[in-house]
């Protein structure tokens, strides 16, 4: 998906760290368990005007959703459900963001290199908040 490329860090650039988040999803059938893993960039290490220019975080308030539903009912419009939980993951980054390789998942003989991110990851200031 061309999310990142392995590259050397430019001088005077600090690569942000990352961490793995593990979650066990509950299932009705006890024998069938579902595990989820997510790589999170530590966006709290980013500095404004160094790693990013502006924050991207669209938020919809519940009152707005209720008002739109009421308007649609009064006008006789059809409404459709749309799930937008992961659409921002394909968001192209305009800033140069470098991230260290995840611990214990370094590329052999390239441990000194870092990832240059081309698309938003969870945790970056350029990506909206993700609740999980």
- Note whether residue 49 is domain-resident: yes
CA distance 116 to 99: 6
- Note whether residue 47 is domain-resident: yes
- Note whether residue 130 is domain-resident: no
Name which residue leads in pLDDT, 95 or 111.
111
- What is residue 88's three-state secondary structure? helix
Q: What is the pLDDT of residues 39-88, one digit of tens each?
A: 888 877 766 655 565 555 556 677 888 888 899 999 999 887 765 554 45
Contacts of 71 (CB under 8 A, 6+ apart): 77
Segments forming the whole domain that contains residue 113 = 4-25+34-119
Q: How many structural domains are present in the chain?
A: 1
Instruction: Note if the pTM is more than 0.75.
Output: no
């Amino acid at each position: 998906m061309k999310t990142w490329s392995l590259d050397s860090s430019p001088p005077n650039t600090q690569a942000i760290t990352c961490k793995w988040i593990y979650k066990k999803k509950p299932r009705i059938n006890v024998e069938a368990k579902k595990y989820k893993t997510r790589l999170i960039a530590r966006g709290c290490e980013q500095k404004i005007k160094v790693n990013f220019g502006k924050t991207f975080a669209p938020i919809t308030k519940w009152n707005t959703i209720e008002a739109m539903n009421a308007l649609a009912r009064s006008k006789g419009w059809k409404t459709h459900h749309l799930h937008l939980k992961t659409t921002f993951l394909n968001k192209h980054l305009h800033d140069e963001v470098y991230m260290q390789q995840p611990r214990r998942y370094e590329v052999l003989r390239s441990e000194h290199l870092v990832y240059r991110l081309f698309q938003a990851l969870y945790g970056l200031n350029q990506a909206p908040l993700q609740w999980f």
